[in-house]
Amino acid sequence: MEREKLNRFHIALMVFNTQSGAVLFTLPRLTAHDFGTNGWLMILPMFVLVTLNIMLISAVYRMGRGQSIFDILSASLPRFLLIPLYVLLWGLFSMIGCLVIKQYALIYQMLIFPATSDLILKIFVDVLVVLYITKGIYTMSKANVIFSLLLLLQIPLIVLFVHEFDLSRFTPFWLKEGADMYEGLNNLYGAFLGYELCLFLFPYAEKNKKWLKYIHLGNGITMFVYLLVSIMAYGFFGHHALVHSSFPILDMYAYLRFPFIERIQNFLFSLFLFSIVQTAGMYYWAGQEALAQVFPQIPWKVIVFVSMVATILVGMIPKTLIVVESWSSYFTFVQIGVAFGLPLLLIVLLLMQRRLKKHA
């Protein structure tokens, strides 16, 4: 039976929802704090950089004619080299997934359940994530349509902030008083990460090149949302107030008041659970794909379960939000390396394979 292929549009939404997550709540502050006045403008060059990276991934697909990256790798490299690589990728992806959940759980704890153990909150999300992944990538892609809609439907709330929005708060100054440019670049690029997992989608996507454009679409939606949210936050708070707000978007939500309900930020923050499930789910899934190459005889659902248990144990080490964020920052740095390095490696291998074929 012909296997069902991932719908292009679903891929776009998967890319969008994997990219965005809890970082949306801190993004305006990150840009203001690290880059300084009008730091939101940095989203644009970052978007261009990400676009270039996606083009690199597309090149792998085109040159390899849709081969799975594992096929490309095993065609040129010996297995004893690949095993550590796969294990590393598995560890990296699973840890990123774990930290995403942990960060969400800690913010949730701060907001709503200050006395409840964050481990319990995290395990709740972990269970959801395991259930989500074990449905398989096709079901994930369909469920994610609803998840994305839950996020995107919050965009019209922006209308409610228009009264408090003031352009004069933007200041005409360009990146003054920034705290740490490099940290900012790392964090902002990290906010875009998630698209690189498309490398693992090759065997599941349709067998033509059209779907590659939809990675750009997903990335475009992300950029649009980031830009919109940041611009609103800069006009709502002004630079200095923004720097001092841990979660500017939560504060903005807190400002909303409807005649029938007040303080809806807790509810809206809970909706982000779905984005977290998608982000973490994709990373665990990609980790599972990598580890399945090392242990092809073990059922893949068992691998997912083992990854989850292993990361829960490691995830218990960082106790505070600030430590989780600094861990995230290191893993982001490595992941940026993978996002550029892996496609480059694959392209080199493909070039070598092509040359060998010619000589043969």
Partner 1 sequence: MLRRFLLAAVLILVLTGCSRDQRILERVGYIETAAFDAAPENKIKATVSIPLVSQYARDGKTTDELLSTIASSPKQAREALSLRTSRIIASGQIRTFLIGEELARRGFWSYLDTFLRDPSISIRTSMVVVEGDAGKIISQEYPRHTKTANYINKLLQKEYSIQSLPRTSLYEFTRDYFDDGEDPIAALVLEKEKDITISGIALMRDDRMIAKLPWEDVYLFMLLYSNLQEGEFTLTTEHPDLKAISVKAVKSKRRIVITKNTSGDYEANIYLKIYGSVDEYIGNAKLSTSERAKVEKLVSEHIVSEALRVIKTMQRHRTDGIGLGKYVRNSMSYDEWKKTDWHEMFSQLPVKVHCSFYIKQFGSYFD
| Contact footprint for partner 1 (CB under 8 A) | 110-117, 120, 123-124, 127, 164, 166, 168-169, 171-173, 176, 236-238, 240-241, 243-244, 250-251, 254-255, 257, 262-263
Q: CB 263 → partner 1: shortest distance, Å?
A: 6
DSSP secondary structure code for residue 146 in this structure: H
Which residue lies nearer to partner 1 by CB, 169 or 216?
169
Q: How far is the CB of 251 from partner 1 (least distance, A)?
A: 6
3-class state of residue 205 by DSSP? strand
Cβ at position 314, least distance to partner 1 in Å: 20
The residue among 220 and 238 lying less far from partner 1, judged by its C-beta, is 238
Burial class (CB in 10 A: 0-12, 13-18, 19+), 153: exposed
Smallest distance from the beta carbon of 238 to partner 1, in angstroms? 5
Q: In angstroms, give the least distance from the CB of 266 to partner 1.
A: 9
Shortest reach from residue 135's CB to partner 1, in Å: 15
68 membership: H or E segment, kind and range = none
Report the residue number, 208 or 246, with the smaller CB distance to partner 1: 246
Which CB sits closer to partner 1, 87 or 123? 123
CB closer to partner 1 out of 77 and 162: 162
Instruction: Note the Cα 80 to chain centre separation in Å.
Output: 30
Tokens of residue 34, six digits: 């690290």
Q: Give whichever of 77 and 127 is closer to partner 1, judged by the CB atom.
A: 127
Strand pairing partners for 262?
Answer: 257
- Residue-wise DSSP of 14-60: HHHHHH-STHHHHHHHHHHHHHBTTGGGGHHHHHHHHHHHHHHHHHH
The residue (of 273 and 334) whose beta carbon lies closer to partner 1 is: 273
C-beta of 47: minimal distance to partner 1 in Å?
26
Distance spanning both ends of the chain, measured CA to CA: 35
d(CA 161, CA 224): 18
- Shortest separation between residue 121's beta carbon and partner 1, angstroms: 8
Residue in the block written with tokens 């809206």: 268
Q: 121 with 269: CB under 8 angstroms?
A: no
Distance from C-alpha of 262 to C-alpha of 254, rounded to nearest angstrom: 8
Burial per residue of 242-275, b for 16 or more beta-carbon CB atoms within 10 angstroms, e otherwise: bbebebbbbbbbbeeeeeeeeeebeebbeebbbb
Q: Tell me the C-alpha distance between 40 and 59, whole Å.
A: 30
CB of 230 to partner 1, least distance (A): 17
Structure token digits, residue 220: 């475009």
Q: What span, in angstroms and rounded, lies between the C-alpha atoms of 274 and 148? A: 8
Query: Which CB atom, from 188 or from 243, has the smaller least distance to partner 1?
Result: 243
**Choice between 111 and 150, CB closer to partner 1:** 111
Q: Is 65 left (phi over 0), alpha (psi -120 to 50) or beta?
A: left
